[in-house]
Structure formats: C-alpha cells, structure tokens
Amino acid sequence: MHEAADQDALTLLRQCDARGFDLAYARYAERIFAFLWRLSGSRALAEDLFQHTFMRLAEVGPRLAFDSDLRAWLFAIARNAFYSHSRARAVVVRADAALIPAPSGVPDPDAGLVLDGLERALATLAPSDRELLLLLGVEGLSPLEVAVVLQLDQATVRKRVSRARARLAEALDDQARVMPKSMVRE
C-alpha cells in the first residue's frame, strides 16, 4: 500500500461510496494525465485515455483488493489503455493503407507544440523506454511499482531502465551536436 490516503480511497470504493473515487481522482488525476500526454504525444488522445482510466476505476473500484496499490493500478490501467489504442490504431492504419493512398503534405496538428530539449529527446525514444523513464523519473514510482505496472520482474525493470537512460543520454548528446552554436550556452 502506498499511503494512508490510498487506503481511505480503497475503503470507500469498496463500500461503493463516491467519495473514494473523488479521493483517488484528486490524488492522481494530474499525474495520470501528464503521463498519458507524454506517452502519447497528443493532448486529445491523452484526454480520451485519461477518461478511460478513471471510468475503469469507477467500474472496478468496488472490487479492488483492500491491499491494492492504487497508484500502480491506475498507472497500469492508463498504460494498458495507451497500448490497446496503439494496437487498434495500427490495425486501422494498415487497413486504410490498403484501401486509400496516404495523403501527402498533411501537417501534424501537434507539430506546433514547443518542446524543450528533454521532451524532444524523450519523444525520440521507443515508447517502452519513454514509459519506463516517465514512470520512474516524472511520476516517482519505485522500481517495484514500475515492475507491477509493467508486469515484469524487478531485475528486468532495472536492466531496461539502465538501457533506456543510456538511450536518452545518447539522444540528448545527438541534439547537442546538431544544435546551432548560437543556441548553445557557454
């Protein structure tokens, strides 16, 4: 169990008391949304997946075990929603590609977002690396909690985190090499 506030939320959820949902929402809504936005790279998609995550809490909350790690459970639901959407989208893209030629020159609606160097470097990583680093570094989950979210062994998580950090460092180095000298701070 992460914290006493989670225990209170779980108790109320198990009693079908809406205050349990409200407690969980107040505690984790911003963090879940930020995680989904960074993971997906799209505010609109993050909003949809965020809504799905908390709908699942409303549906399943009364059946959660009393000793559940609410934070890890919510991040796992959010992550699974992202990957389910990605798989479904890949199927649609393959089907569309077979039927309709891809349009050329269509601007990316999110291209106008201004990202700092770290965000740009994170965006270049594979989703699996990005989610690991976001869960640990941004969301503050412990390696054990990340292992629960990703349904992996803790040793596997440590190895993957090490590799993901190395790839992030490489991406940051690549950015520094291509950055115009006028933008580099001395």
Distance of CA 9 to the CA centre of its chain: 22
Residue with tokens 């006028």: 182
d(CA 165, CA 169) in angstroms, rounded, equals 6
The confidence score (pLDDT) of residue 34 equals 96
d(CA 97, CA 160) in angstroms, rounded, equals 33
The confidence score (pLDDT) of residue 7 equals 94
Domains of the chain: 1-111 (1.10.1740.10), 114-186 (1.10.10.10)
Q: Which residue has the higher pLDDT, 112 or 115?
A: 115
Residue with tokens 């269509």: 106
Longest dimension (CA), the chain: 61
By the 8 A CB rule, do 79 and 152 touch? Answer: no
pTM over 0.85: no
The confidence score (pLDDT) of residue 111 equals 40
The confidence score (pLDDT) of residue 100 equals 43
> Which whole number is the average pLDDT over 25-50?
95
What DSSP string describes 52-103?
A: HHHHHHHHHGGGS-TT--HHHHHHHHHHHHHHHHHHHHHHHHHHHHHHSPPP
Token pair listed for 9: 């939320």
Residue % of the chain over a pLDDT of 70: 80
Residues 100-110 have pLDDT tens digits of 444 445 544 44
Mean pLDDT, rounded, of the chain: 83
> Which whole number is the average pLDDT over 131-149?
88
Per-residue DSSP letter, 182: G
DSSP H helical ranges for the chain: 4-14, 18-40, 43-60, 70-99, 117-124, 127-133, 143-150, 154-178
Residues 169-186 have pLDDT tens digits of 888 888 777 765 544 444
- pLDDT reading at 97 higher than 70: no
